[in-house]
Amino acid sequence: MTSFYQPEDASAAEAIAAIAEDLALFDDWMDRYQFIIELGRKLPPYPVEWQDEAHRVKGCQSQVWLAAEQSGDKLYFTGASDAAIVSGLVALVLRVYSGRPQAEILATPAKFLHDLGLIGALSTNRGNGVAAMVERIQAMAKG
């Protein structure tokens, strides 16, 4: 599972709270964008052979790929994008959802993206894309 994102927070709710704290450290969105880009650079390597149509997230302006692996009752995700800011958004979404039980994934709607101000700060296409990532993760959790 080396290319799958390992959770650093005990729950999705704790991950969302930690992300909110991290974003609050910055006074403006340019600094937040830089922080998000740095998160994307720290993503685990995404296998090149998974950069295909089967793993591509539809609805994203950039190329985005997601894959899932189940271990026990938990789902682990990995993802990548060809755009720096989107890779960072992938990292944020994986921090919330990867390594969680299916029920917790399904009980954590994309509303946190609005609550954190991410949707309002992104272009409409990027906002739609990050919402599409969450929809894809939740669809994977449904089985």
Of residues 3 and 12, more confidently modeled: 12
Q: Is 60 a catalytic residue?
A: yes
Q: Tell me what percent of the residues of the chain surpass a pLDDT of 90.
A: 80
- Please give the structure tokens belonging to residue 54: 């089967």
| Model confidence band, residue 13 (pLDDT cutoffs 50, 70, 90) | very high
| Model confidence band, residue 85 (pLDDT cutoffs 50, 70, 90) | very high
pLDDT at 1 over 60: no
| Model confidence band, residue 135 (pLDDT cutoffs 50, 70, 90) | very high
At 99-118, the pLDDT tens digits run 999 999 999 999 999 999 88
pLDDT at 8 over 60: yes
pLDDT at 123 over 90: no
Give the type of residue at 25: L
Annotated domain spans of the chain: 12-142
Rounded to 5°, angle at Cα 116 from 9 and 93: 50
Place of tokens 């409409």: 124
At 30-76, the pLDDT tens digits run 999 999 999 999 999 999 999 999 999 998 778 999 999 999 999 99
- Residue 10: the pLDDT is 97
12-142 architecture in CATH? Alpha-Beta Complex (3.90)
Q: Per the residue annotation, which of 15, 43, 60, 90 is the catalytic one?
A: 60
Phi/psi zone of residue 99: left (φ > 0), alpha (ψ -120 to 50 degrees), beta? left
